């Protein structure tokens, strides 16, 4: 049997329906790939192949995702599986229920089978903040895969997952997708239910797919999207076919080039690859229009006020009383709370809780949190005004190539700036998708570069169509590009 782990989701489904192979054979091929490749990558925290084999043996291949194994970020609840958020705080927690996205995947015939590493509680840009292991970039194992959904991106890039789910609070799907050379979609806020996603920042978090092609992401979105009565922030919208705009070309498409996203300080090689990709879009008939997002300079500061404030509130529930890490032999209740949280949380999570508690505190709320919310409104208006002129924006996903493991762990500000081109998308609640757009050769290694298409809120179908047109025409078959 050939190595089926290199197939896309679309190819996998076609093979099932032709009778070329079975879901059980595909799962076994994936299991072999994980056994041989993941020890060097560290994308997985756990796998449940026993349950997955039973599901594969009885899979209905006529369902939309019938028999397709999907790997899951460790912040999304799957009944009977660990949901640790890569944290000692939840080291022994087993989920008692399925997140809505997992229920939807199961109903569509997909098979959730593995837990993927991440930055602890989704707080980080490199997957170095996991309490359990570091995940490595498949293109160069001395480098980070991005974060916080580093395991989700690295598994797809290393061909140890056909597709995966991640979550994106400030770039946590798109940035690792760019650094690992895969496709990652952050849906509009409210498009996908967050029920069952362990909350980091509730007004920013979104679940989304990572895969090898835009087509695969669109197919997954057909399953993931929709109103959920258990998530009051999910939007009640008519069912939409996110594959409807696939197969078109770029003629007549108006692409906005935000001048604030091409700045001094970014890696010149990244800039060169992205500019070449944008020029290719123009050669395919797209019209390029310079636009301005004047409040971009405030996005990082606004994000790290709002996100940390919401994290402080969301993580208050982890007190060692009902569940989670509990300190041994506390002297009293205060000692119990302090030591349980001290021992259970890592340094980055503590840093953000402290910052968030500070900006919410009496005397500072108006000066920081309230002001940040007002600037957030200005950032959203920047995008609304830009989309009056263009169909989508195009820009770099990350200002840098994947950096070396340990290179930025002692420099939080520099680490935070890794998301400078992605966080405004979450603040504005719009959709964004990262696609590979080339390689940079460094020390004998090929390192991927990602380009980001940004669309107005709830415009995923058009955004996916634009990205698909670029992907099919650019001459770079990343679905076939394999790390050495």
Q: Which residues are catalytic?
A: 73, 148, 172
The secondary structure of 49-60, three-state, reads HHHHHHHHHCCC
| Overall residue count recorded for the chain in this entry | 484
**Angle, in degrees to the nearest 10, between helices 49-57 and 23-41:** 160
How crowded is residue 276: how many other Cβ atoms within 10 Å of its Cβ? 14
**Residue 17, by phi and psi: left (phi above 0), alpha (psi -120 to 50) or beta?**
alpha
Residue 206: strand pairing partners: 168
Q: Is the dihedral of CA 249, 222, 26, 32 positive or negative?
A: positive
- Alpha carbons 110 and 105: distance in angstroms, whole number: 5
- Alpha carbons 386 and 409: distance in angstroms, whole number: 36
Question: Are 241 and 218 contacting, i.e. CB atoms less than 8 angstroms apart?
Answer: no
Give the dihedral of Cα atoms 157, 158, 164, 165; nearest 10 deg. -70
Structure tokens at 156: 């797809």
Produce one character per residue of 244-265: b if its CB has 16 or more CB atoms within 10 Å, e if not.
ebbeebbeebebbbbebbbeee
Q: Is the dihedral of CA 124, 452, 219, 186 positive or negative?
A: positive
Q: Of 194, 152, 154, 190, whose CA–CA distance to 173 is shortest?
A: 152
Sheet holding 287-291, edge to edge: 44-47, 111-116, 69-73, 163-168, 206-211, 183-186, 431-442, 445-455, 392-396, 254-258, 287-291
CA-derived radius of gyration, the chain: 21
Residue 438: strand pairing partners: 449
């Amino acid at each position: 049997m050939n190595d089926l782990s290199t197939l896309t989701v679309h190819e996998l489904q076609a093979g099932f329906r032709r009778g070329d192979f079975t879901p059980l054979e595909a799962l076994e091929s994936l299991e072999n790939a994980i056994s041989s490749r993941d020890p060097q990558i560290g994308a997985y925290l756990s796998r449940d192949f026993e349950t997955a084999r039973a599901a594969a043996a009885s899979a209905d291949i006529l369902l939309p995702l019938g028999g397709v194994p999907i790997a899951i970020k460790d912040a999304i609840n799957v009944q009977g599986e660990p949901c640790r958020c890569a944290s000692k705080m939840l080291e022994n927690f087993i989920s008692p229920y399925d997140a809505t996205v997992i229920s939807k995947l199961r109903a569509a015939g997909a098979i959730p089978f593995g837990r993927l590493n991440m930055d602890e509680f989704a707080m980080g840009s490199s997957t170095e903040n996991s309490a359990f292991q570091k995940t490595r970039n498949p293109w160069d194992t001395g480098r980070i895969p991005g974060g916080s959904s580093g395991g989700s991106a690295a598994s797809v890039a290393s061909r140890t997952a056909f597709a995966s789910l991640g979550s994106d609070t400030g770039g946590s799907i798109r940035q690792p997708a760019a650094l690992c050379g895969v496709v990652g979609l952050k849906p509009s806020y409210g498009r996908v239910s967050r029920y069952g996603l362990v909350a980091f920042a509730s007004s920013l978090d979104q679940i989304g797919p990572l895969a090898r092609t835009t087509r695969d992401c669109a197919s997954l979105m057909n399953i993931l999207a929709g109103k959920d009565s258990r998530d009051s922030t999910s939007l009640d919208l008519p069912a939409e076919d996110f594959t409807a705009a696939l197969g078109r070309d770029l003629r007549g498409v108006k692409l906005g080039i935000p001048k604030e996203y091409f700045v001094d300080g970014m890696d010149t090689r990244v800039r060169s690859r992205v500019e070449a990709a944008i020029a290719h879009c123009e050669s395919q008939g797209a019209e390029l229009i310079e636009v301005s997002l004047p409040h971009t300079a405030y996005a990082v500061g606004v994000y790290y006020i709002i996100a940390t404030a919401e994290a402080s509130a969301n993580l208050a529930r982890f007190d060692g009383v009902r569940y989670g890490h509990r300190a041994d032999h506390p002297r009293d209740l205060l000692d119990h709370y302090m030591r349980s949280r001290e021992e259970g949380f890592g340094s980055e999570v503590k840093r953000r809780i402290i910052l968030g508690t500070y900006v919410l505190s009496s005397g500072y709320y108006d000066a920081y949190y309230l002001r940040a919310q007002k600037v957030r409104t200005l950032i959203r208006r920047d995008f609304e005004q830009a989309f009056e002129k263009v169909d989508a924006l195009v820009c770099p996903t990350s200002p840098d190539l994947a950096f070396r493991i340990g290179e930025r762990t002692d420099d939080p500000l520099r680490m935070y700036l890794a998301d400078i081109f992605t966080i405004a998308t979450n603040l504005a609640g719009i959709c964004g998708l990262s696609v590979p757009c080339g390689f940079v050769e460094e020390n004998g290694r090929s390192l991927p570069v990602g380009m980001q298409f940004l669309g107005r809120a709830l415009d995923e179908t058009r955004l996916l169509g634009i990205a698909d047109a670029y992907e099919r025409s650019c001459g770079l078959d990343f679905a076939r590009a394999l790390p050495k």
